Amino acid sequence: MSIKWVIAIVPTELLEQLERKLATVHAPDLTITRVKGYGEYKNFFSSDLTSVHTKVEIFADEADVEAITNAIVEVGKSTVPGAGIVAAVPVEKLLHLHIESK
């Protein structure tokens, strides 16, 4: 079984809609973090050019990654710069701390 780490940076206002969509594709677990930064879009109205977004992290079986990333893209797609990103990264090792199992 191969595990992937799906990471998405999305506008915070899309979070509720994204959570509902991810539930339909059986995303197993997710972590949500408020993040600040800049990339393609820079906030020239901020003293440090950054804007606030939400980072969603999901560890999933490789077989489920396509459906998960498609769900994120479906909710987040936009023609506006800075709409967000999504990536899937291989995971070498994943342990559950409460039972030390793989």
Residue 101's pLDDT band (boundaries 50, 70, 90)?
Answer: low
Which two tokens mark 47? Answer: 């003293």
> For residue 97, is it left (φ>0), alpha (ψ between -120 and 50) or beta?
alpha
Instruction: Examine the pLDDT at 45 and tell me if it is beyond 70.
Output: yes
- For the record, the structure tokens of 58 come out as 């999901």
The predicted model gives 41-54 an average pLDDT of 78
Q: What is the mean pLDDT of residues 44-59?
A: 86
pLDDT at 102: 59
User: Cα–Cα distance between 4 and 14 in angstroms, integer?
Assistant: 23
- Considering the domain delimited by 3-90, tell me its CATH architecture: 2-Layer Sandwich (3.30)
What are the residue ranges spanned by the domains of the chain? 3-90
